[in-house]
Amino acid sequence: HDFIKLKIIHDFIKLKIIYDFIKLKIIHDFIKLKKIHDFIKLKKIYDFTVLK
């Protein structure tokens, strides 16, 4: 009985770690995309200003 309980707790912790990792990855990718987006926006503004 205790063994089963421990196994459940263990699996839960493992799932939580995987879940947190995926969440962090999503946040990280989002930030990366945002940086790329901001960079492109700045580049467009820069090009526009220089070409003007």
DSSP, residue by residue, 1-52: -HHHHHHHHHHHHHHHHHHHHHHHHHHHHHHHHHHHHHHHHHHHHHHHHHH-
- The tens digit of pLDDT for each residue in 6-42 reads 999 999 999 999 999 999 999 999 999 999 999 999 9
Whether the pLDDT of residue 52 is over 90: the answer is no
Q: What is the reported pLDDT for 38?
A: 96
| Predicted pLDDT of residue 39 | 96
Would you say the C-alpha torsion 26, 32, 38, 43 has a positive or negative sign?
Answer: negative
Name the pLDDT band for 1 (thresholds 50, 70, 90).
confident
Residue 51 pLDDT: 83
Q: What are the structure tokens assigned to 32, written together?
A: 């990366």
Check residue 40 and give its pLDDT. 96
